[in-house]
C-alpha cells in the first residue's frame, strides 16, 4: 500500500522528517525516490562511532562506485571518531577513497579525529566553505597540514576550532611558521578559536605573510582568553578587523587551576567601539576581567568614535564569585551604558546565571547539616533561592538600565 503512494506525497514526507529513524521508515515505505528526495536524503552524511566500522563504510563506498551520482549530492560530511580506537585508521583509508566522489562537498566536521599527512592530502582537494575541527589532533607539522586544508579552499568563509587538550598541532612549534605565501587567500568571515592552547595558531593567523587565510573581512569572532598573550592577540585582531567585525564572543578562563590570576594592570585595553554584539562568559577570577572590560568601555567614551554597541551578553560561569554586592563594577557598568554616548544605540544587557553553581553552593551548605530524608529536594529548593537572590541583587546594581536589562537562568 505504501509503495503505491504518489511520489509527490513521498517527497513531501521527506521534506517534513528530520531524524534518522524517520528516514529509515520512509525508505521501507518507498524504495524508489525521485531526484529531489535523493538530494534531501544524501545532503548530509554523518559517520558516528557506532557507524565507523569497516563493513559499513565499505558498503557505502560500493554504493558510491556503483551510483556515482549519489555522492555528488553530499554537501556536509560529519565524522565522529570518539572511542573508535586503532581500527579507526583502517576505516579512514576507505573514507579517503569515498571523498574523491564527493565533489560537491562544502562543509566538513571532524570530531575526535587524528589527522595525518594522508588525510590532509585528500581533504585539501575539496573547495570547502565551512570547516569544523573539534578535539582534532594533528600529527607532525600540524600547522602545515592545517594550512594545506585552508589553502585548498580559497572560498572558505567559516572556520571553527574547538580543543580542550594539548597539543592542537604536533611537531616543532618553531618550524610551523615557515609556510610559503599563497596567491589566493581565503577571506574568513566567521572564526571560532575555543582552546586553552591556541596561541600558536593565533600567532600564525596574525602573520599575514605565511598564513593562507585573511581575517580582514572577519565579521564574527569567538575566542578563549587564558593568558596575557591572548589579550595581546585579541587587541591585534580587533585592530585588523576594525572595519568589518560586528560580533565578538569571549570566554575568560585560566589555563590551569594553579595558574596565577592575571592582574588588571597587565591586561591591554582594547578598542571595541565598532562592535554591535558582544557576549562574555566569565569564569575564574571574574572580577579582574570585569574591571578590564569596563576600562575598555570607558576608552570608547573618552574617544571621538561613536559606538555601535547594541547588545551585551554577560554569562556568569559556575566558578564565578556569587556576590554582586561586593563588586562595585556592576554599578559602574550601569552608568557607562546609560551615558549619552551609548544611550542612542544600546538596546539590551542580558545577564545569564547558571543553576549548576547554585546547586554546588547549596550542596556545600547541606553537608554542614545532619543527613535527613529529602536532603536532595531541600538542596534544590535552596538552589532556587540562591538564584533568585542573586538576580534580585544584580537588579539593584542597575538602577538606570531597568528598561534595557534582562536575565536568563540556565540549567547548566
Check residue 410 and report its DSSP letter.
E
Q: Report the chain's mean pLDDT, rounded to a whole number.
A: 74
Average pLDDT over residues 129-137: 87
pLDDT band at 365 (very low <50, low <70, confident <90, very high): low
Which alpha helices (H) appear in 137-216, and where do they start and end? 142-151, 199-206
Residue 206 has pLDDT above 70, yes or no: yes
Cβ contact 365:372 at 8 Å? no
**Distance, CA of 231 to CA of 226 (rounded, Å):** 8
The answer to whether 211 touches 176, Cβ cutoff 8 Å, is no
**Percent of the chain residues past pLDDT 90, beyond the cut:** 12
- The larger pLDDT score, comparing residue 32 to residue 350, is at 350
Task: Please report, for the chain, the start and end positions of each structural domain, with discontinuous segments joined by +.
Answer: 1-41, 255-412
CB burial readout 218-237, b (16+ within 10 A) else e: bebbbbbbbeeebbbbbbbb
Nearest partner of 191 among 216, 166, 165, judged by Cα? 216
pLDDT class of 137 with cuts at 50, 70, 90 = confident
Task: Give all strands (DSSP E) within 144-211, no chain letters.
Answer: 158-163, 186-187, 190-195
For residue 311, the model assigns a pLDDT of 93
pLDDT over 90 (residue 189): yes
Query: What is the average per-residue pLDDT within 198-212?
Result: 74
Residue 345 has pLDDT above 70, yes or no: yes
pLDDT, residue 46, reads: 81
The whole-angstrom separation of Cα 110 and Cα 119 is 12
Distance CA 129, CA 156 (A): 4
Q: How far apart are CA 331 and CA 324, in angstroms?
A: 10
**To 5 degrees, how large is the angle CA 102–CA 105–CA 109?**
115
> Which pTM value belongs to this model?
0.80
Could you say which DSSP state residue 326 is in? G
- Give the percent of the chain with pLDDT over 70: 62
Amino acid at each position: 500500500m505504501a509503495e503505491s503512494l504518489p511520489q509527490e506525497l513521498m517527497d513531501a514526507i521527506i521534506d517534513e522528517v528530520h531524524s534518522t529513524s524517520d528516514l529509515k521508515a520512509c525508505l521501507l515505505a518507498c524504495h524508489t525516490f525521485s531526484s529531489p528526495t535523493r538530494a534531501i536524503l544524501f545532503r548530509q552524511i554523518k559517520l558516528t562511532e557506532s557507524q565507523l566500522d569497516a563493513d559499513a563504510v565499505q558498503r557505502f563506498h560500493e554504493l558510491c562506485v556503483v551510483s556515482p551520482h549519489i555522492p555528488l549530492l553530499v554537501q556536509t560530511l560529519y565524522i565522529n571518531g570518539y572511542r573508535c580506537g586503532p581500527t579507526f585508521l583502517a576505516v579512514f583509508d576507505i573514507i579517503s577513497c569515498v571523498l574523491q566522489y564527493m565533489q560537491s562537498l562544502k562543509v566538513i566536521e571532524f570530531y575526535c579525529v587524528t589527522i595525518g599527512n594522508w588525510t590532509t592530502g585528500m581533504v585539501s582537494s575539496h573547495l570547502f566553505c565551512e570547516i569544523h575541527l573539534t578535539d582534532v589532533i594533528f600529527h607532525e607539522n600540524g600547522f602545515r597540514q592545517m594550512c594545506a586544508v585552508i589553502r585548498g579552499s580559497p572560498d572558505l568563509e567559516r572556520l571553527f576550532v574547538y580543543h580542550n587538550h594539548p597539543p592542537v598541532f604536533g611537531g616543532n612549534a618553531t618550524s610551523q611558521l615557515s609556510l610559503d605565501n599563497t596567491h589566493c587567500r581565503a577571506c574568513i568571515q566567521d572564526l571560532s578559536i575555543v582552546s586553552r592552547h591556541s596561541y600558536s595558531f593565533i600567532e600564525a593567523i596574525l602573520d599575514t605573510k605565511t598564513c593562507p587565510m585573511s581575517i580582514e573581512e572577519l565579521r564574527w569572532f569567538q575566542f578563549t582568553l587564558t593568558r596575557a598573550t591572548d589579550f595581546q592577540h585579541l587587541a591585534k585582531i580587533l585592530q585588523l578587523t576594525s572595519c568589518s567585525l560586528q560580533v565578538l564572543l569571549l570566554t575568560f578562563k585560566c589555563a590551569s587551576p594553579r595558574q596565577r590570576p592575571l592582574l588588571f594592570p597587565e591586561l591591554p585595553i582594547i578598542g571595541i567601539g565598532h562592535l554591535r554584539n558582544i557576549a562574555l562568559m566569565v569564569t575564574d577570577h571574574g572580577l579582574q576581567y570585569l574591571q578590564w572590560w569596563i576600562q575598555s568601555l570607558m576608552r570608547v567614551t573618552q574617544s571621538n568614535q561613536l559606538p555601535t554597541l547594541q547588545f551585551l551578553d554577560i554569562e556568569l560561569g559556575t566558578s564565578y564569585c556569587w556576590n554582586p554586592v561586593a563588586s562595585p563594577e556592576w554599578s559602574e557598568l550601569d552608568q557607562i551604558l546609560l551615558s549619552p554616548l551609548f544611550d542612542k544605540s544600546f538596546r539590551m544587557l542580558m545577564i545569564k546565571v547558571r543553576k549548576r553553581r547554585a546547586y554546588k553552593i547549596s550542596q556545600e551548605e547541606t553537608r554542614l547539616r545532619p543527613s535527613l530524608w529529602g536532603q536532595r529536594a531541600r538542596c534544590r529548593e535552596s538552589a532556587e533561592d540562591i538564584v533568585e537572590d542573586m538576580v534580585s541583587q544584580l537588579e539593584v546594581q542597575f538602577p538606570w538600565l531597568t528598561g534595557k536589562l534582562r536575565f536568563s537562568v540556565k540549567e547548566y
